[in-house]
Structure 1
Amino acid sequence: MNLPSTLFPSINLSTQALFNAVNSFKAHMVVSAPSNKINRSMIWIPTNPKGAEGLPPGIVSPMSDIYPRRLWGKPNEDFGIAPKYLVAFTVGYTQKESVNAAVEKASPLSHYSRANIYTCMHYVTVILHLRFSENFTIVLFHYDGQTSEWDEFGWSRKAVHVSARKQSKWWYAKRFLHPDIVAPYDYIFIWDEDLGVQHFNAEENTEERPGWCTDSYSPPCAAFVEIRVTVFSRNAWRCVWHMIQNDLIHGWGLDFNMRRCVEQPPHEKIGVVDAQWIVHEGIATQGPGETGMTPVEKIRQRCKHEWVIFQNRMRNAEKEYYAELGVSPSNFTR
């Protein structure tokens, strides 16, 4: 490159010096990429689940399950049939015979048509007894720390065992049955342990008695369910799970508010099947045992206290919601 000397009258600049100067200038330049070019080292997908925005959508797995998996072989060969139903018992070892009887009696759900049992229901609470076949994942929540002792039952070896001492059914459900975990199941059974099923026959169907539901929004038609032997559809459970309060572990008050988790009118989506009956044996197997009050009395005292708290929270939450909308609930019609 030939440059006239008159351009640099006071500088003796050789060709090599010029190239060195240009290279030094380029090395210190900050070059901005055109706005129409994508930085492919950064992914940001706002529609991904919270916290996973930086992942490519194709790898995001928002749901899980509690199917037991093998430690060997191919993942797609872990089991022949993916269970459609989940049943969870909150148990102590002293109630093993009652739980074993509940698991092994009666017939598989596949023998019933959905129309016969779940007639037109998206959510249903039923007192229903089944032999839990390969279509069921069985979960035992142990409040006494005894888990391996259940291996005397063949079905227990295939069950999922969760152990936390002196906790309640709804405490376990809130922490271990998140809707995204149980989403693969059509129905979620959440049962107590102290149930006598000797007189129960699940093969006989039931129909609503004419005239019983004079008010579709009040007990016993829609506002109340038997909380001890519940069955939820996956959609209903997603709603109910969010309604369960983290610190209120006995579930009192939930039964009067589950109607909020179904389409209206609620009596067409929720019900109590009482044509067949079971026995609630009412055997308390855990409690503080403090002086002056039996374990049952102490637990009942907290249950009532939680009921008041839950009612107040629900009432206040509704008031705040309608106040933000600037409307009065009294103006609503059923």
Structure 2
Amino acid sequence: MGPISNDGSQKRFFSIAPPAALIFFVLIFVAGAIVTLGHKENLSILQLQPKEMISTEAIRPPTSESRVEPTEEPNICDVKNMNQNRCRPSGSEALPRGIVQDKSNFEMESLGGNPERKKDGRPSKSLLAIPVGIKQKAVVDKLVSKFPAAKFTVMLFHYDGVVDRWGDLKWFDRAIHVAARDQTKWWFAKRFLHPDLVAEYEYIFLWDEDIEVDSFDPLKYLRIVRREGLEISQPALDHRSQIHHRLTARARKGDVHRRFYKTNGRGRCYGNSTGPPCTGWVEMMVPVFSRAAWRCAWHMIQNDLIYAWGLDFKLGYCAQGDRRRNVGVVDSQYVLHRGIPTLGDGGKAPARSTSTSTSATVDRYAVRRRSYDELQVFNRRWREAVEEDGSWTDPYPKPTTNS
């Protein structure tokens, strides 16, 4: 049998190969198109869905119909995200996710024993933080002694730098002591009460030192605050106190009041008053914050404005909902604010000479002057921030006046 010619083999090959090859390449093309479309569809869903959810939460205004529970600020990492590094605390990207502990507290630990023994059994506690000077030692002793150790952690900010002379008090060793001369309560709070450090505490009491608590029970106070849903609150002020606004004076009836109306021709609050200091407002000497409200308020405290003047009129924005409902004054648990000036003389001993007295007066005048200046600066920064943030909507716009 002779050899098959090249022409014959080529004819047989091309008579069979073209249809099979064509079908094969068509199948590959169709399969590739399906995979590509599916990938694009899934990718678009993953990219768009978290943005839509975050945007909706960001622009939702507080309403009086529902109250936001006191939880920590929302974490966008609860939404599934392809880029997992975006969900890590800044600086922890090089670490395995499970080892990251981004929160802490002020609880003291023993030098021995099982470090994990108390992890699940630790009772819920709140934090009492007070700026103190040695001249007010007796008043502070009575104040701190009212707060049971099992329910409260105590932190003292020593603005006169004196720490060792407190050592004879029975609660001294369980308190956290921070000393920095001539600094204010808000200076300490901004630097040592970061929300991640106090996230385990249910409430933060940020009080002045010149407070008498003969008619105050902190545990009863917190029961009322929880029942009423108050995110920002204060005990009412005894009428003998240094009272700057009528809203915070003690009402004779009931446990809580949230607003003040003009009576007997006194005051500036009327029935249509919807904002501070007539409603949704507390003074700054004895505020109490939920952990969520404090997280918001801490961010608003300016690092360089140490007296925080003007902040009280904006705290309602941190009320986790309607400030008319979530901010209030507790009447049945009230305190006496003595109003003793402590800033301006560095916590020194009382003046005995005319020259020393004059110096202290000048210092207190400088304190007052800076306080007023800070008020102007804070209000200017707020206005500028509102103008610059086009995505922010004010949930409490100023009411229009009829001319």
Instruction: Give TM-score, length-normalised by structure 2.
Output: 0.59
The answer to whether the Cα contact below 8 Å between 1:45 and 1:56 also exists between their aligned partners in 2 is no
Letter in 1 for 2:192: F
2:294, 2:318 → 1: CA distance?
A: 8
Letter in 2 for 1:48: R
For 2:255, the equivalent position in structure 1 comes to 206
Residues 59 and 333 of structure 1, relative CA distance in 2, 3 Å threshold:
farther
CA shift at 1:215, angstroms?
3.0
For 1:84, the equivalent position in structure 2 comes to 125
For 2:104, the equivalent position in structure 1 comes to 64
Of 194, 201, 207, the match for 2:210: 194
What is the 5 A alignment of 1:128-143?
A: 131-143=147-159
SS of the equivalent of 2:128 reads strand
* Residue 255 (1) aligns with residue 306 (2): no
SS of the equivalent of 1:278 reads strand
CA shift at 1:198, angstroms?
3.3
* Residue 229 (1) aligns with residue 286 (2): yes
SS of the equivalent of 1:294 reads helix
For 1:100, the equivalent position in structure 2 comes to 141
Residues 181 and 214 of structure 1, relative CA distance in 2, 3 Å threshold:
same
The one-character-per-residue Cα deviations of 1:117-154 (angstroms, maximum 9, x if unpaired) are xxxxxxxxxxxxxx333111100011111112212111
CA shift at 1:102, angstroms?
1.1
1:248, 1:160 → 2: CA distance?
A: 24
CA shift at 1:174, angstroms?
0.4
What is the 5 A alignment of 1:1-334?
A: 45-77=85-117, 81-105=122-146, 131-200=147-216, 206-208=255-257, 212=261, 214-222=272-280, 224-287=281-344, 291=359, 293-322=361-390
The answer to whether the Cα contact below 8 Å between 2:210 and 2:338 also exists between their aligned partners in 1 is yes
CA shift at 1:280, angstroms?
2.0
The answer to whether the Cα contact below 8 Å between 2:282 and 2:328 also exists between their aligned partners in 1 is yes
SS of the equivalent of 2:157 reads strand
Residues 69 and 59 of structure 1, relative CA distance in 2, 3 Å threshold:
same
Aligned residue pairs total 264
For 1:37, the equivalent position in structure 2 comes to none
2:102, 2:181 → 1: CA distance?
A: 30
SS of the equivalent of 1:58 reads helix
1:49, 1:64 → 2: CA distance?
A: 14
1:136, 1:200 → 2: CA distance?
A: 15
Residues 302 and 93 of structure 1, relative CA distance in 2, 3 Å threshold:
same
1:148, 1:46 → 2: CA distance?
A: 46
For 2:11, the equivalent position in structure 1 comes to none
Residues 296 and 275 of structure 1, relative CA distance in 2, 3 Å threshold:
farther
CA shift at 1:60, angstroms?
0.7
1:226, 1:332 → 2: CA distance?
A: 21
The answer to whether the Cα contact below 8 Å between 1:81 and 1:135 also exists between their aligned partners in 2 is no
For structure 1, the residue ranges without an aligned partner over 5 or more in a row are 1-43, 106-130
SS of the equivalent of 1:50 reads coil
For 2:247, the equivalent position in structure 1 comes to none
1:72, 1:208 → 2: CA distance?
A: 48
Residues 291 and 269 of structure 1, relative CA distance in 2, 3 Å threshold:
same
The answer to whether the Cα contact below 8 Å between 1:87 and 1:139 also exists between their aligned partners in 2 is yes
CA shift at 1:76, angstroms?
2.6
Q: Which stretch shifts more, 267-276 or 157-166? A: 267-276
CA shift at 1:64, angstroms?
0.8
Letter in 2 for 1:72: G
1:227, 1:55 → 2: CA distance?
A: 41
Letter in 1 for 2:369: Q
CA shift at 1:159, angstroms?
0.7
